[in-house]
Amino acid sequence: MESTQFKTQLKKQIVEFLNLLSVNPEDIKDDEPLFGEGLGLDSIDSIELIVLLNREYGIVIEDPKEGRKILVDINTMADYIEKNRTK
């Protein structure tokens, strides 16, 4: 899958998984911060996203603190998934 296409799919998955009611997946910028400013996600969301990475891509992250280094923005997430996915 092409990189932009993959990122579009990832954005849809995030919006659906976190039930981000008012967010249109296409409006999320690739370099927009997921936490704090930007999408405004919190610590529970970071755990939810670790579960998403596991269920969709077979990636296992044991330490939520490690997770936050990956879950910076769509670019870092997509990059990590492409390198580490097992499914």
Tell me which residue has tokens 């927009």: 32
- Torsions phi, psi of 62, nearest 5? -80, -45
DSSP 25: G
Q: How far is Cα 32 from Cα 12, in angstroms, rounded to an integer?
A: 15
Q: Which is nearer to other proteins, 64 or 85 (CB)?
A: 64
Fill in the amino acid letter for 58. G
The window from 14-22, 25-33, 70-78, 79-87 that contacts other proteins (CB under 8 A) reads 14-22
Q: Which is nearer to other proteins, 61 or 78 (CB)?
A: 61
Query: Does residue 3 interact with other proteins by CB under 8 A?
Result: no
**Residues near other proteins, by CB under 8 A:** 18-23, 40, 42-44, 47-48, 50-51, 54-55, 64
